[in-house]
A and B are shown apart, each in its own frame.
Chain A
Amino acid sequence: MSRYSAWSVLTQGLRGNKGWRRAWRHPEPKPSYDVIIVGGGGHGLAAAYYLAKEHGVRNVAVVEKGWLGGGNTGRNTTIVRSNYMIEGNTRFYERSVKLWENLSRDLNFNVMFSQRGQFNLCHSTAQMDAARRRGNVMRANGIDAELLDRDEVARRLPYVDTSPNARFPVHGALYQGRAGTARHDAVAWGFARGADRLGVDIIQQCEVVGFLQEGDKIVGVKTTKGAIRAGKVGMAVAGHTGDLAAKAGLRLPIETHLLQAFVSEPLKPLINTVIAFGGAHFYISQSDKGGLVFGGDLDGYNSYAQRGGLPIVQHTAASAKALIPSLSRLKILRHWAGAMDMTMDGSPIIAKMPIEGLYLNGGWCYGGFKATPASGWCFAWTIARDEPHEDNAAFTLSRFAEGRMIDEKGVGPVPWAH
């Protein structure tokens, strides 16, 4: 496989772009691998890439039931940030942002990571106090954070309704300048190409329908392309974690819920940053193609359907208009839903499971995209060394029994409220 470079673009351009080769192979599955990763989204592909790159484990397969990045990797609002406050989250998400900052170079694939900054708007003195505390905790952990007052928000975001008559008047914002967005498909493709170059087999259109078990140990997977044996099996299947884990006889502190996302018709450049509304659950940015990309809250009931209901469409549109009144006549181009694996404390699980040979990367709630590189990096470490890295040491399954929940929002064991 050739490296992508300015030179390769130039020479291919001169030859009518006829010399580009496939970015990854389409191999048939081998009878056995050292490690099988179930799920060819960003997290699974990143785990395979870092297993091969950092740990020299190259006899690896990624098994995907559909196509690469066809699940939540391609269904999110592409926001990357590390404005977390609870110990266990802070360092992990900061590792992720640091990996993002060098990801295009590392993968030799442009993931279009754009550090355009993120505003978390505050609409009361209490929210400002909470933002100040969060910002201080972030800075104490070496993460950038700035507290902005209302006038500064009005100066930087002139299209946001900062008038005292707004439904939720803006008091200020917590700003993270290193936050931003990335191109989600490119993340899956970049990791896939990187992993493939290091010898990882990526097997698409191959659904895992069960596990091979010998005694108490998992020794492989049953797929629609036959059984494949493996020394270790890692699950990275996002919203389908509960369903797949049940096939291994594993019950989890996870429920699957719907989250919708929206893209508007394309506009000329309007929003050059990421804005999270503090009055309702709403966040918005603008893609490089011009469409406004935004999302809101969960639909609020258990579902694997990957299609959302209209009440949330209305709620999200109302939030958009309350925040930025000039969007009132904007047309929505597309909206879709993803199946989210909502945990009981709103934080993920990257850990060895109680069943020998099984590892889980899941419970990402709706914050999985930003975590992609660090998630893969820590999952690869956990699989290769049979112990967690200190950055994912808190993301255990046993934390619920031990009372070590990482509940960033403080809502308790109510998965649809995180």
Chain B
Amino acid sequence: MLRLNCPICGPRDETEFSYGGDASVKRPKMDETDPQIWIDYVFYRDNPRGPHLEYWHHVQGCRQWLVVERDTVSHEIASCRLAREVAR
């Protein structure tokens, strides 16, 4: 069981959250016309063995989107921040 330290609700079980995938992926600007950039955005991932930035949605709590830094081997969680503050 992962325990995510939600900045709003405090430490909560992973079962309260929904996974949102790789948070290092940035959507291209909407006027981007190079198809390769869109293909990379939609399909291609770094898939690191080690620290991984990822989105989690606290769907059964405060309903905030979080950006979590978690190790994909040890499952250790280094940080857990509000996505809207990370985006700022």
Residue positions of A touching B, CB distance < 8 A: 240, 242-243, 246, 251-256, 300-305, 309-311, 344, 400-401, 413-416
Cα distance, A416 to B17, chains bound together (Å): 14
Cα distance, A197 to B2, chains bound together (Å): 47
Please indicate the chain B residues that have their CB under 8 angstroms from the CB of A304 in the complex: 49, 72-73
Please indicate the chain A residues that have their CB under 8 angstroms from the CB of B15 in the complex: 311
Cβ contact within 8 Å between A301 and B19: yes
Please judge, given known A-B contacts A301-B2, A303-B72, whether A243 and B49 are in contact too, CB under 8 Å.
yes
Cβ contact within 8 Å between B72 and A253: no
Cβ contact within 8 Å between A309 and B22: no
Smallest distance from the beta carbon of A297 to chain B beta carbons, Å? 12
Q: Which bucket holds chain B's interface residue count? A: 20 to 34
Stretch at the interface among B35-43, B58-66, B78-86: B35-43
Return the 3 tightest CB-CB contacts between A and B, nearest first.
Answer: A242-B47, A253-B43, A400-B43
| Chain B CB within 10 Å, residue with most, of A243, A304, A305 | A304
Cα distance, A242 to B46, chains bound together (Å): 7
Please indicate the chain A residues that have their CB under 8 angstroms from the CB of B35 in the complex: 401
Is B30 part of the contact surface with A, judged by Cβ < 8 Å? no
A–B pairs, 24, beta carbons within 8 Å: A242-B48, A251-B45, A252-B44, A254-B47, A255-B21, A255-B22, A256-B47, A256-B72, A301-B2, A301-B70, A302-B22, A302-B52, A302-B54, A305-B72, A305-B74, A310-B1, A344-B43, A400-B42, A400-B43, A401-B35, A413-B43, A415-B21, A416-B19, A416-B21
Is B75 part of the contact surface with A, judged by Cβ < 8 Å? yes
Cα distance, A251 to B22, chains bound together (Å): 14
- Closest A residue to B70 by beta carbon equals A301
| Chain A CB within 10 Å, residue with most, of B19, B35, B36 | B19
Cα distance, A235 to B45, chains bound together (Å): 18
Please indicate the chain A residues that have their CB under 8 angstroms from the CB of B75 in the complex: 303, 305
Cβ contact within 8 Å between B39 and A400: yes
Please judge, given known A-B contacts A253-B44, A401-B35, whether A302 and B72 are in contact too, CB under 8 Å.
yes
User: What's the dominant secondary structure at chain B's contact region?
Assistant: mixed
From 1 to 39 in chain B, residues with beta carbon under 8 angstroms from any chain A beta carbon are 1-2, 13-15, 19, 21-22, 35-36, 39
Cβ contact within 8 Å between B19 and A309: no
- Given known contacts A242-B46, A251-B46, what 9 new A-B pairs fall within 8 Å (CB)? A252-B45, A254-B47, A256-B47, A301-B2, A302-B72, A303-B72, A305-B72, A401-B43, A416-B19
Please indicate the chain A residues that have their CB under 8 angstroms from the CB of B14 in the complex: 301, 309, 311
Smallest distance from the beta carbon of B3 to chain A beta carbons, Å? 11
Cα distance, A311 to B3, chains bound together (Å): 12
Cα distance, A310 to B13, chains bound together (Å): 11
Please indicate the chain A residues that have their CB under 8 angstroms from the CB of B2 in the complex: 301, 309
Cβ contact within 8 Å between B72 and A311: no
Please indicate the chain A residues that have their CB under 8 angstroms from the CB of B43 in the complex: 253, 344, 400-401, 413
Cα distance, A254 to B21, chains bound together (Å): 12
Cβ contact within 8 Å between A414 and B44: no
Please indicate the chain B residues that have their CB under 8 angstroms from the CB of A251 in the complex: 40, 44-46
Please indicate the chain A residues that have their CB under 8 angstroms from the CB of B74 in the complex: 305
Smallest distance from the beta carbon of A332 to chain B beta carbons, Å? 17
Please indicate the chain B residues that have their CB under 8 angstroms from the CB of A243 in the complex: 47-49
Please indicate the chain A residues that have their CB under 8 angstroms from the CB of B45 in the complex: 242, 251-255, 415
Cα distance, A310 to B46, chains bound together (Å): 27
- Closest A residue to B74 by beta carbon equals A305
Cα distance, A267 to B58, chains bound together (Å): 41
Cβ contact within 8 Å between A300 and B47: no
Cβ contact within 8 Å between A255 and B1: no
- Closest A residue to B42 by beta carbon equals A413
- Closest B residue to A414 by beta carbon equals B21
- Closest B residue to A315 by beta carbon equals B15
Cα distance, A102 to B1, chains bound together (Å): 43
Cα distance, A216 to B7, chains bound together (Å): 47
Partner of A301 from the list B13, B36, B40, B54 (CB cut-off 8 Å) is B54
Please indicate the chain B residues that have their CB under 8 angstroms from the CB of A344 in the complex: 42-43
Cα distance, A251 to B15, chains bound together (Å): 31
Please indicate the chain B residues that have their CB under 8 angstroms from the CB of A303 in the complex: 72-73, 75
Smallest distance from the beta carbon of A30 to chain B beta carbons, Å? 29
Smallest distance from the beta carbon of A382 to chain B beta carbons, Å? 21
Cβ contact within 8 Å between B47 and A302: yes
Cα distance, A255 to B54, chains bound together (Å): 12
Please indicate the chain A residues that have their CB under 8 angstroms from the CB of B22 in the complex: 255, 302
Smallest distance from the beta carbon of B74 to chain A beta carbons, Å? 7
Smallest distance from the beta carbon of B26 to chain A beta carbons, Å? 15
Smallest distance from the beta carbon of A207 to chain B beta carbons, Å? 13
